[in-house]
Amino acid sequence: MALLIFVRHGQSLYNLENRFTGILDVPLTDLGKEQAKLAGQKLIGYDFNIAYTSMLTRAQESLQIILREMQVTIPIVKNSAFNERMYGSLQGLNKDETAKKYGFAQVDIWRRSYDICPPGGESLLNTYQRVVPYYKTVIEPKLKMGQNILLVAHGNSLRALMMYLENINPLDIVKVNIPTGQPRVYDFTDEIKIVAVKYL
């Protein structure tokens, strides 16, 4: 048996300001730090072998807060495979103002569709194409060895992984929203078949 638990980072400054964040490196808000702290409290008692995160501050800071709250020290691997989806020329723009400029329907397509890219940015499909190979080559072998893995990353990189793990199709993934700071637990057999999935 092995566990994979992922957590979307706590609220960031651009989440609060309703801006497209993408790969811009913005910090957590006070609420975001509190969300990470609560996630850590929920994870007390779980035993992890290693943690993974992105190259972005908001995910790394969330992970540090979680581990501090759990009072554990484990190896941490940072990799750009888990970075947030790159939103191109939309990055830093207010979402409401962008919707007024381009139309709500167009912005919704850019934000939620599977294979349509925002201007100069990545689609969820592009994100999937970097997240899932990394998962298969680096994380899955550790799960097969019975190791427990903690992953702290971003809404879209985690949606891409969730799509793969739970066999969610491109039409249904557009409806999925991963809450900030809420651990999602995957319980696997030795053959990496999912036994149970739940939010804590």
Point out the residues that are catalytic: 9, 84
> Residue 30 burial (CB < 10 Å; 0-12/13-18/19+)?
exposed
Residue pair 62/9 in contact (Cβ under 8 Å)? The answer is: yes
Helix axes 30-42, 57-70, angle to 10 degrees: 40
**186/192 Cα distance (integer angstroms):** 10
Neighbouring residues of 144: CB distance < 8 A, sequence distance ≥ 6 = 2, 190, 192
**121/64 Cα distance (integer angstroms):** 29
Euclidean distance between the first and the last CA atom of the chain, given in angstroms as a whole number: 19
